[in-house]
């Protein structure tokens, strides 16, 4: 049951942030009605998953895999943007930050590649 609450809250947060990212900067200014409506709807969908025969734990694992695969290009894009002086101005990354970003990128890339290799080899 806690898993369903976690899924419903995370879905609620993503939907609310997507709908209001260009209009509001904080969550307090969002309509409370929409917040709770999305929470109730996602809780209902999460509860129905057990009755249809879909394992919510597997869905969490699939979501984590998708997030891990999508993180690799996002880290590269963030690294390139944060090193661009036209975009960042005087707040451009220093060498240590660049080292950490690219180390993270390499670790994530190697983990995603090893995951795909493990899928296709026995």
Q: Render pLDDT for 22-50 as a digit per residue (tens, 0 to 9).
A: 444 455 555 667 667 777 787 787 778 77
Enumerate residues 6+ apart whose C-beta is below 8 A from 89: none
The residues near 59 (Cβ < 8 Å, ≥ 6 apart) are 7, 49
* Lowest mean pLDDT across 25-39, 87-101, 102-116: 25-39
- DSSP letter, residue 122: -
d(CA 41, CA 90): 45
Looking at residues 94-119, what average pLDDT do you find? 94
Q: Which of 42, 56, 45 is nearest to 3 (CA)?
A: 56
What pLDDT band is residue 55 in, cutting at 50, 70 and 90? confident
- 84: three-class secondary structure by DSSP: coil
Tell me: the pLDDT tens digits for 56-75?
Answer: 778 878 888 999 999 999 99
């Amino acid at each position: 049951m806690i898993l369903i609450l976690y899924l419903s809250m995370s879905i609620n947060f993503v939907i609310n942030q997507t709908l209001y990212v260009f209009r509001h900067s904080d969550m307090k200014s969002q309509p409370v009605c929409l917040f709770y409506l999305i929470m109730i709807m996602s809780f209902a969908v999460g509860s129905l998953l057990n009755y249809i025969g879909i394992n919510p734990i597997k869905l969490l694992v699939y979501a984590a895999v998708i997030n891990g695969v999508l993180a690799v290009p996002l880290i590269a894009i963030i690294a390139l943007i944060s090193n661009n002086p036209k975009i960042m101005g005087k707040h451009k990354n220093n060498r240590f930050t660049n080292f950490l970003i690219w180390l993270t990128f390499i670790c994530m890339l190697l983990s995603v590649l090893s995951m795909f290799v493990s899928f296709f080899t026995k």
